[in-house]
A and B are shown apart, each in its own frame.
Chain A
């Protein structure tokens, strides 16, 4: 069974750094991409970017380029989403999702990680 298991909820202060994770199981981690999707409170879904775990090649949405970093460690089947300096506006639910490539839909999703940034 394909599963994406994300790390737990985080409460941080503005300016702090954070890395959240997404561990895949039940499939070969390097044969699919991982995308990250943001959902702000009461809002819709926004694609942030993706990584190919086989070579760690990344692409970002222009809206998120330079604000976050996506990485992966294929040895432990885990992808990461990282911030160097959080803002209150980063408060949101973050989902990881799997897809074979851009020409395929997001077929499996993680359970989500709630990030709250508040002073």
Chain B
């Protein structure tokens, strides 16, 4: 199974400042035939279901603000919130869909400093 490891477990960022979350996969999620990374990011606000933010490691889902961006390839990925807003308080999860069973990172809790 692919083991997804996120860091940090939590972070507190001031409003308007940058938040950076890391995700490392135990195996590459890059499919060489199409050069796509099978890596998604989800946001889970308190009391809500998860919401897809980014897929193919860097493609924003429709309607997701452009302050959210994803980067990385192979085994190392990053989710960046360029200017933290109050509504971004949530737990963020990475997930690989390269190979079943689908696996998630442990989550990173983002709070306001």
Residue A47, interface by CB 8 Å:
yes
CA distance A44 to B44 in the complex (A): 10
Q: How many A-B residue pairs have CB under 8 A?
A: 59
Instruction: Give Cα distance in the complex from A109 to B40, angstroms.
Output: 14
Chain B contact residues, CB within 8 Å of chain A = 1, 38, 40, 42, 44, 49-52, 55, 61, 93, 95, 97, 99-107
Q: Specify which of B55, B97, B102, B105 lies most central, judged by the most chain A CB atoms within 10 Å of its CB.
A: B102
Query: If the complex has contacts A102-B100, A102-B102, A105-B55, are A44 and B49 also in contact, measured as CB distance less than 8 A?
Result: no
Inter-subunit contact B104/A47 (CB<8 Å): yes
Please classify how large the interface on chain A is, using the bins under 10, 10 to 19, 20 to 34, 35 or more: 20 to 34
Task: Check A61–B97 contact: CB distance below 8 A.
Answer: no
Chain B residue contacts of A44, Cβ below 8 A: 93, 104-107
Enumerate chain B residues within 8 angstroms of A59, measured Cβ to Cβ: 100
How many angstroms between the C-alpha atoms of A41 and B101 in the bound complex?
Answer: 22
Binding site secondary structure of chain A: loop
Interface of B (DSSP majority class) = loop
Q: Knowing A59-B100, A109-B51, say if A45 contacts B93 (CB, 8 Å).
A: yes
CA distance A102 to B50 in the complex (A): 18
**Contact A107/B52 with A44-B93, A102-B100 known, Cβ cut-off 8 Å:** yes
Query: B97 contacts A102, CB within 8 Å?
Result: yes
